[in-house]
Amino acid sequence: MNDLFLRACLGQPVERTPVWIMRQAGRYLPEYRAVREKHSFWQMCTVPEVCTEVTLQPVDRIGVDAAILFSDILVPLVAMGVEIDFTPAPVMGRTLRTEASIDSLRPADDSPVFGQVADAIRMLRRELSGRVPLIGFAGAPFTLATYAACGGGSRSQSEIRTMMFGAPKLAHGLLRRLTDAVIASLRSQIAAGVQAIQLFDSWAGILSAEDYEAFALPYAREVLVAVKSADPSIPRIYFAPGASSLLDRIGTVGAEVTGIDWRIPLSRAREILGDRTAVQGNLDPGVLLGSPEVIEEKVVRILAEARGARGHVMNLGHGILPETPVENAAAFVEAVRRHSQR
């Protein structure tokens, strides 16, 4: 089995740097678009055969060193009974910003959604048969709270900010419920067989350091502790894009691996984090819209900046852009393989 990814996450020696790509099963792949034409986004998340097919596509096509379950960071919200229309940008059937709406949420634990996802994970592990490890994931509590309060994506996140700064107890009540649901989701994924997890705190970057410590960090930490107690051996990755000014705090969240976006040099991120965690990243996804020469040049630079790290998993600093030529995604993976041989 190619376990480079798992070893790099855990700070163990590797023969070369492992690489995967956020949103690697996505619209830049023609075979993904073909599946998407026949199935809704939600079917792709919950029908095991379809989920398995799209999850495996980038492993077959561009040779990444890890598969990531095709799913959505908002699955825990669905499991709590919130209807979400994935277009794929999420639009929620209702918002959660009153005590009554929060009280009406179902406990996620026994949701049939988790069962469907678990079936997909078991099928995936069989199909992968040890080729590469499988990553599970969920949105972090603060990120789910932002979606829940705003009813979907939002330009200025006014609703969650009104809660935080006008009704902090209500915000903490929502975060409490969401933390339980995220833990239930990840425990279920681990029981079904994922071999690493990534916690996406996609909205943490809207917070000041002080508010990150109040509204995001403790809940994310609690999730990671629960994952550890579910299975002490699997690596936990925490990724908050656009939040490099929070990296000193992020370093205390308790993950084995810190995801780094492209806005901060990897060498600088390592200075801030110290040797506490391995790092994952951090090529600007926009570079994959450019020439193969620029891609190679930037990969070489990132590998140099990662040298001596506790562990390094190469990745983009954010999801791959739908406009990316497939050959450029492949050139990225190939450049990492070629230039990182020990």
- 261 tagged catalytic: no
Contact stretch for a second copy (CB under 8 A) within 34-42, 110-118, 163-171, 185-193? 163-171
- Shortest distance, position 272 Cβ to a second copy, whole Å: 10
Which residues inside 242-301 make contact with a second copy, applying CB under 8 A? 242-246, 262-265, 268, 284-287, 289-291, 294-295, 301
Residue 12 or 291 having the CB closest to a second copy: 291
Residue 10 or 272 having the CB closest to a second copy: 272
* Sheet with 278-280, side-by-side order of all strands: 67-68, 134-139, 196-200, 236-239, 257-259, 278-280, 312-313
- Shortest distance, position 268 Cβ to a second copy, whole Å: 7
Asked if 205 interacts with a second copy (CB under 8 A), we say yes
The correct pick among 156, 169, 232, 233 for binding a second copy (CB under 8 A) is 156
Asked if 330 interacts with a second copy (CB under 8 A), we say no
Asked if 169 interacts with a second copy (CB under 8 A), we say no
Asked if 304 interacts with a second copy (CB under 8 A), we say no
Of the listed 3, 7, 36, 238, which one is catalytic?
A: 36
The answer to whether 142 touches 201, Cβ cutoff 8 Å, is: yes
Asked if 18 interacts with a second copy (CB under 8 A), we say no
Q: At CA 292, angle to CA 289 and CA 293, rounded to 5?
A: 120
> Which residues are known catalytic residues?
23, 27, 36, 72, 147
| Residues of the shown chain interacting with a second copy in the complex, contacts defined by CB under 8 A | 156-158, 161-162, 164-166, 205-211, 242-246, 262-265, 268, 284-287, 289-291, 294-295, 301, 321, 323
